Structure 1
Amino acid sequence: MGQQDLPRADGPPPMLPWPLALLALSACCRWGVASGAGGTAPQQHAAPATPSSSSSSSGRAPLDWLLTDRGPFYRAQEYVDFVERYRQGFTTRYRIYREFARWKVNNLALERKDFFSLPLPLAPEFIRNIRLLGRRPSPQQITDSLIKKYGTHFLLSATLGGEESLTIFVDKRKLSRRAEPAGGAGNSSGVSLETLHQLAASYFIDRESTLRRLHHIQIATAAIKVTETRTGPLGCSNYDNLDSVSSVLVQSPENKVQLQGLQTVLPSYLRERFVAAALSYIACSSAGELVCHRSDCRCQCQPTFPRCNCPEADVQALESSLAQLLRAWESHHSQFEESEEFQALVKRLPGDRFLNRTAISHFWATDLDVQHRYQQLGTSLKLLARKTHRLIRRLFNLSKRCRRQPHFKLPKERSLPYWWSRAQSLLYCSETTVPGTFLEESHSCTCPPDQPSCQGSIPCALGEGPACASCAEDNSTRCGTCNHGYVLTQGFCRPEVADSLEHYLGLETDLQDLELKYLLQKRDSRIEVHSIFISNDMRLGSWFDPSWRKRMLLTLKSNKYKPGLVHVMLALSLQICLTKNSTLEPVMAIYVNPFGGSHSESWFMPVNEGSFPDWERTTVDASAQCQNWTLTLGNKWKTFFETVHVYLRSRIKSLDDSSNETIYYEPLEMADPSKNLGYMKINSLQVFGYSLPFEPDAIRDLILQLDYPYTQGSQDSAMLQLLEIRDRVNRLSPPGKTRFDLFTCLLRHRLKLANNEVARIQSSLRAFNAKLPNAVEQETGKLCS
């Protein structure tokens, strides 16, 4: 690389601004130019697509793919020029150029000061301005006297260079293959490629004559287009006109312009003030003074410029850029929605059934084209998002001292579920030119304001539970068939409900708790269930020695006397009388048999255990010491009963003086009647409740439909009714961790079914119940064998 220093004498004043310094340096013309390509032979540069460049009959079609924006190279000026010429018909480019070597330019005045300790050759005008400032000038005086005249920096060193080139675009189809006549002066109408080669080779030898002939050929034949480009060192005598300073600098990474602050040539007492004034001039544009506090710098505005801290033009430019990015963001989404891949996916979606977002996601997952197109959209949006965030940070930094907040809108992210919903909208809300928005929760469309109705026909939804099993063939918006446990009603699937049980078993009652309590207090005969009293140990109304356990029962014998009724117990009452001064206390154990059978199929009543009620005693006859013992079950603890077993025992009651508690002792066996502790008498034993209608033959016919169904619907209906009977019967089971299976007792003892038949019915009911929606199978304990 050639290099030559500036001459020492009469150098340019170093305090000039660096662009002026460069121009002053270029005017001296005292350095040489080393040609890096002197006498370079002409070079032919073909078009990027060789086949099209060599063939004149192929037309423009093969190079059409080049005419799209495909990266930074395709935005280069040379390529843009080539594309423009190609569109005009030129198919070949010839280019000849030579590049000048780099020149390193140094400021000789500073070198003389540093190495030889000589004073700087400052201009007299510059020295006079410094003296006029005085020792304590204001920032405004420094700005007016120095900065506005001489700038803030001067040139320390720079790298210069350049090139000269000739470019000829050729349309071979318009050139003649005949050789140009000898000594051609441009009078011939035919020009060959050889002529162009010779003219290009002679460009650096005889520039004026070569250009004159090339321009003549360009005008005469319109087969060529000549472009001349020259950039080079400033002030060289072999150039007629000069380009801008930026064109002189060789564009390579290692080259740069090095500047020096003007304060280095000022007296020491002015340097700090000059730096402060220069910073205020640059940062505040002479509208205020730059003030810094703890790394936070701002402009202290002058009264005439109250908004100097707010670069309004820059803020508005950033807001405009953000708005443009937002439009680009929306444009990318619109292009994706209108893309062939997305539209093909929407057309491929089936229309014979309703598709929710999950179903559409499955089709999306199998479409590789739309996934690839969506990835391209994501890549473009990431670039826009990064640029948006960068501009937003700059906007906030610039507008933090503005009086108004910046105005911008963040781009809205659109995830995969959005595009699945968009596909739904295009399927079901596109009856108008502008599609609406589909709402899956309500199965409806929200249409644009200017479109009153955009909703099309929405097919029925297939699925489990209340959804359709299939859509109707004549009307896809309605269900054709329903799932198990649902019935088709007017095109919709409704939960199948058991028919009324009035013909089989009446389980309804209108007795409320307060009414029941009042009737029990009055011992109303309307709620008394008349039963048969049986006991081998005692008789009603007779005194007996209670030293031994007494067994008694009340039974209904419904199968014999009342086959059409089942009975519900609401309360149990005994009237017990004791002799005077008796120390006996009755203790009763109650067992209830719900529908008959042996005593082993009875359950024990947990009196006064947990929340179960206790006996209530009411004195009837004080002289005879008679009391009514009543156990009230009410609606909460009511239960079926066929037989009630009562086991009566007695205990001795005494008072412990130390603890003031009642202590019970079992009576001893006494052979001496004179030592008897008292006698007891049972005047009455009653069961209060009500009877329900019961049709065993109708229930048997219902069970027969499980094995001999007339239609599938009748079998399901019979199953639902039996399930309802089973659940409602077992609901009156006695309290406990596990409820007893009273329905099996009903089948065994009131319908007289065999064990294997009962087991088959229960198994069928469990299997049917498992298929129902929201099915819950209650665990029950075995009571009847």
Structure 2
Amino acid sequence: MFFAVAQKQFTEPEGEAAEFGRWKVNSLALERQENNGFSLPLDPEFLQTIRQLGRRPSLRAITDNIIRKYGTHFLLSATLGGEESLMIFVDKRKLSRTSEVSEPNGTAVTLEALHQLAASYFIDRESTLHKLHHIQIASTAIKVTETRTGPLGCSNYDNLDSVSSVLVQSPENKIHLQGLQAVLPQYLRARFVQAALSYIGCNEEGQFVCRDNDCWCQCAADYPQCNCPQGDLRAMEASLLQIRDSWNVANQDFEESEEFQTFVRKLPTFYALNTSAIQYFWTTEPGVHQRYKQLELNAQQLLSKARRIVNKLFTLSKRCRTQPRIIMLRERPFSYWLHYILSIMYCSENNHIGSYLEETRSCSCPYEHPPCQGVIPCPVGEGTSCASCSYENRSRCATCNQGFMLSQGACRNEVPDSTDHYIGFETDLQDLELRYLLQKRDKRIGIHGIFVSNDVRLNNWFDPSWRKRMLLTLKSNKYKSNHVHMLLGMSLQICLTKNSTLDPLLSVYINPFGGSHSESWIMPIGQNDYPDWERTKLDFPYDCYNWTLTLGNKWKSFFETVHFYLRSRIRGPSPSGNGTVYYEPLEYLEPGRNLGYMKINSIQVYGYSMHFDPEAIQDLILQLDYPYTQGSQDSALLQLLEIRDRVNRLSPPGAQPLDLFSCLLRHRLKLSTTDVARILAALQTFAAKQPNSMEYETTKLCS
């Protein structure tokens, strides 16, 4: 009642022939006559219905009389039939050769002739195509392409059973609809829109209401659940169940696939695997990799579909009395399959699969009895992991890595045997006890040394103007070859004549194991938290002091000889009068002036002697070249490494520890420089192979 058919349209582009057969359908319902302004006649029955509604009809009346009968929209414009096109591609260079291109009757083909043939396509299609195909076959000057789309061909007017069968729907030919309120009187339009929304959105069970960007149905008394479309909700819940079933089937198909089963069978079983190892083997198997990609794509599609349904489900059930309870599918990441493969390998005994716990290398089984855990092979790798597993029992180690030892089927850090029978290090005395004994000058910690000096005699006064050299030596190589000695402190008793302005200065050098004076280190007294001299005045007729240096356990070190260098300076008032300045005697001394005398009553070192067995250490070194049994060389190296580290750890503070161990080898074992260098190189190489090894550098002391 609203439609008229427009005329047939043709177009012909330049350079190529193309014609379209379409019938454009336009609605006349909205067109106006210019002369009187009235609408064109609508269907009389439709107009009568509008008059009968009156000016204020109810929504029910509009629904029953208009919407049920005529709908809510009318067709504004559309395209009927189909589309036919003819495209001719022309090579003008070949077309110019008239002898090569001609019609069946011998007439030469020109561009104008091709235009005429293309124009006759919609008049006599068969004859035109016959001629064009002949020209195309006879030469290569043209190429003909014919396209026919749509439900209805241009030459076919049969089977017009309904309008929908001949509507052309495509991006170029869209169907345009218009709400029916556009042809209604102004007073009916708002009520019609409200009735149409209630009819479409509320299924005639309530009134459609919108407020604050939210719309819902205000339910009628007979339909209290009009906002809760139970049928749609049940259908969506059923769809979710189907998706879950499809999800389970997809995962089961992947697990039972030949690619997955083959991959699991090919994994090594003679050592324990972890997820990193499974992932590495996975990348080397293109079959299972490709099969997993298919599962991943299928799972993503199912999950996406499930999310859309769930979102719609909650939107529709927003105003229901009860909310749906949904268990969402949880995406199985790649790591799930890595752990699942480990569970299959190690936790699938007695026909049920548990969960493998990689951190504890154990299984969590669904039932206690029977257990699901099988034999889990030993871990092979670096550090405390095994180098290989035992053939008799795969859960135990057969061999260990460098620096580790096999103990009861497991690898543990290799610990050197005790070195106490080679050399001793420790004392049971605490720092407070040592300080007390030193203050009391207790003979129990005193070590008798031989006093040697060409400049000073004990208990004799001397002129302190020049530097004096003294030493205390133990001569252990001659008298105590089975002992080494630890220095804990020292004390001197120094006296000055009364009213003397001299101030003694002491420099102390320590020779750890003998040798020349050049192989000694100087004590950094009073520097960087190192202990300083403590002076205690004595009740003597002269100006006497006890000088005490307490090293304690923190700063103790080996010693064989202690060198003392005594020099003096002159103490005087500063020019400003509020301080003290010191002058060297040679700079200040006037000729013939006597600054006083000094004497040293006693000098004593304190410490303890430790067991030392040079023959046993020589035997240990001999095993580096001639090991007694398999593994004894490593054991000897480990013990020598322990002795080296403990000896060098007793160095004085500095940027690097002193190489006291070389001094021990050189002077107490009487080894040559070549042998010492060879032993140090062997220890350095062995230490580099140990776990958590660090670069070890020392400062040379003994040549």
Q: Under TM normalisation by the shorter chain, which class is it?
A: 0.7 to 0.9
Query: Is the 2:406–2:412 Cα contact (8 Å) retained in structure 1?
Result: yes
Q: Secondary structure at the match of 1:707?
A: coil
1:301 equivalenced with 2:234 (yes/no)? no
**How far off is 1:103 after superposition?**
10
Tell me how large the CA RMSD over aligned residues is: 3.5
Contact 1:399 1:406 (C-alpha < 8 Å) held by counterparts? yes
Say if 1:319 and 1:689 are closer, same or farther in 2 by CA, change over 3 A: farther
**Per the alignment, do residues 670 and 437 of structure 1 end up closer, same or farther by CA in structure 2, a change over 3 Å counting?**
closer
Corresponding residue number in structure 2 for 1:752: 670
Q: Once the 2 structures are TM-superposed, how far is the Cα of residue 416 of structure 1 from its aligned partner?
A: 3.3
1:397–1:611 distance in 2 versus 1, CA, 3 Å: same
C-alpha distance in structure 1 between counterparts of 2:30 and 2:471, whole Å? 132
- What SS does structure 1 have at the residue aligned with 2:599? strand
Question: Could you tell me whether the CA contact under 8 Å between 2:80 and 2:167 is conserved in 1?
Answer: no
Q: Does the 8 Å contact 1:568/1:640 carry over to 2?
A: yes
Q: Does 1:249 align with 2:249?
A: no
What is the match of residue 72 of structure 2? 152
Paired letter, 2:508:
I
Equivalent residue for 1:564? 482
Give the conservation status (yes or no) of the 8 Å contact 2:505–2:567. yes
Provide the secondary structure at the position in 2 that maps to 1:686. Answer: strand
Q: Which residue pairs with 1:425 in the alignment?
A: 343
Query: Aligned ranges for residues 666-685 of structure 1 at < 5 Å?
Result: 666-668=584-586, 675-685=593-603
Deviation string for 1:12-47 (max 9, x for gaps)?
xx8xxxxxx9xxxxxxxxxxxxxxxxxxxxxxxxxx
**Displacement of 1:331:** 2.5
User: Is the deviation greater in 378-387 or in 258-267?
Assistant: 258-267
Query: Which position in structure 2 is the counterpart of 1:120?
Result: 42
Q: Give how far 1:434 is off.
A: 2.5
The alignment partner of 1:676 has SS state of coil
**CA 659–673 in structure 1, closer or farther in 2 if over 3 Å, else same:** closer
Q: Is the Cα contact below 8 Å between 1:557 and 1:642 reproduced in 2?
A: yes
Deviation at 1:591, TM superposition (A): 0.4
Q: Secondary structure at the match of 1:432?
A: helix
Q: Does 1:694 align with 2:616?
A: no
- Aligned match for 2:569, one of 641, 647, 651: 651
Q: Does 1:573 align with 2:494?
A: no
What pairs with 1:307-386 in structure 2 (closer than 5 Å)?
308-311=226-229, 313-386=231-304
Match of 2:440 in 1: 522
Deviations 1:674-696 (A, max 9, x none): 62122212111111111110011
SS in 1 for 2:44: coil
Q: Deviations over 1:237-261 (max 9, x none)?
A: x99xx99x89x73586459877553
CA distance in structure 2 between the aligned counterparts of 1:580 and 1:543, rounded to whole angstroms: 13
2:421 maps to 1:503: yes
2:690 maps to amino acid: L
The amino acid that maps onto 1:301 is Q
CA distances 1:355-385 after superposition (whole Å, capped 9, x unpaired): 2223223322222211221222222223224
Amino acid of the structure 2 residue aligned with 1:152: T
Distance of 1:540 and 1:702 partners within structure 2 = 44
> What percent identity do the matched residue pairs reach?
60
Partner amino acid for 2:48?
I
Question: 2:91 maps to which residue?
Answer: none
Determine helix, strand or coil for the equivalent of 1:422: helix
Q: Which amino acid aligns with 2:44?
A: L
Deviation at 1:442, TM superposition (A): 1.0
Match of 1:740, SS?
coil
The answer (yes or no) to whether the contact 2:489–2:548 under 8 Å persists in 1 is: yes
- Please state whether the residue corresponding to 2:254 is helix, strand or coil: helix
- Name the CA distance, whole Å, in 2 between partners of 1:420 and 1:333: 14
- The 8 Å contact of residues 198 and 217 in structure 2, kept in 1 or not, is answered as no
Describe how 1:71-470 pairs up with structure 2 within 5 A: 117-123=39-45, 127=48, 130-135=51-56, 137-140=57-60, 142-143=62-63, 146-148=66-68, 150-153=70-73, 249=165, 253=169, 260-292=178-210, 296-299=213-216, 301-302=218-219, 304=221, 308-311=226-229, 313-395=231-313, 397-399=315-317, 407-449=325-367, 452-470=370-388
Q: Which amino acid aligns with 1:298?
A: C
Question: TM-score, normalized by length of structure 2?
Answer: 0.78
Distance 1:118 1:753, change over 3 A: closer
Offset, 1:300: 5.5
1:634 aligns with 2:521: no
Q: Is the 8 A contact 1:298 1:309 kept in 2?
A: no
Query: Would the aligned equivalents of 2:502 and 2:568 in 1 still touch at CA under 8 Å?
Result: yes
CA distance in 2, matches of 1:702, 1:134: 120
Distance 1:249 1:303, change over 3 A: closer
Code of the residue aligned with 2:165 in structure 1: it is L
Is the 8 Å Cα contact of residues 169 and 175 (structure 2) preserved in structure 1? no
TM-score by length of 1: 0.71
- Over 3 Å counting, the alpha-carbon distance change for 1:562 and 1:108 in structure 2 is closer
| CA distance 1:259–1:738, change in 2 (3 Å) | closer
Please tell me whether the aligned partners of residues 364 and 370 of structure 1 are also in contact (alpha carbons under 8 angstroms): yes
Distance 1:618 1:490, change over 3 A: same
- How far apart, in 2, do the equivalents of 1:108 and 1:454 lie? 80
Q: CA deviation at 1:638?
A: 0.7
> Residues 287 and 449 (structure 1 numbering): CA distance in 2 closer, same or farther, change over 3 Å?
farther
Name the residue aligned to 2:504: 586
In 2, Cα distance between equivalents of 1:527 and 1:768: 38
Quote how far apart the aligned CAs of 1:111 are: 8.2
2:63–2:199 contact (8 Å) kept in structure 1: yes
Q: Which residue of 2 aligns with 1:737?
A: 655
Figure out how many residues of one structure are paired with residues of the other and give that number.
Answer: 608
Query: 1:303-350: CA deviations, max 9, x gaps?
Result: 746665554543454344334323323332221111111101111112
Aligned residues of 1:102 and 1:250 also touching (Cα < 8 A): no
Q: Any conservation in 1 of the 2:390–2:396 contact (CA below 8 Å)? A: yes
> Aligned-pair distance for 1:668?
2.9
Range with greater deviation from structure 2 (324-333 or 567-576): 324-333
1:729 alignment partner AA: V
Task: Name the SS of the counterpart of 1:706 in structure 2.
Answer: coil
C-alpha distance after superposition, 1:358-414 (max 9, x if no partner) = 322332222221122122222222322433343344345445566766644443333
State the Cα distance separating 1:709 from its structure 2 match.
0.9
**Contact conserved, 1:133 with 1:142, CA < 8 A, in 2?**
no
Shift of 1:740: 0.6
CA contact (8 A) 2:648 2:659 kept: yes
Amino acid corresponding to residue 479 of structure 2 in structure 1: Y
Query: Distance between the aligned counterparts of 1:657 and 1:306, measured in 2?
Result: 110
Shift of 1:596: 0.3
**1:534, CA displacement in angstroms?**
1.1
- 3-state SS of the aligned residue for 1:781? coil
| Residues in 1 aligned to 2:247 and 2:255: alpha-carbon distance in whole angstroms | 13
Task: State whether residues 432 and 451 of structure 1, in contact with CA within 8 Å, keep that contact through their aligned partners in structure 2.
Answer: no
Instruction: Give the residue type in structure 1 aligned to 2:644.
Output: R
Deviation at 1:475, TM superposition (A): 1.5
- Going from structure 1 to structure 2, the CA distance change for 1:640 and 1:257 (only over 3 Å counts) comes to closer
Work out whether residues 29 and 40 of structure 2, in 8 Å CA contact, stay in contact via their aligned partners in 1.
no
Measured in 2, the distance between the counterparts of 1:642 and 1:476 equals 56
1: distance between equivalents of 2:624 and 2:176?
102
What is the correspondence of 1:705-716 to structure 2 with a 5 Å cutoff? Answer: 705-716=623-634
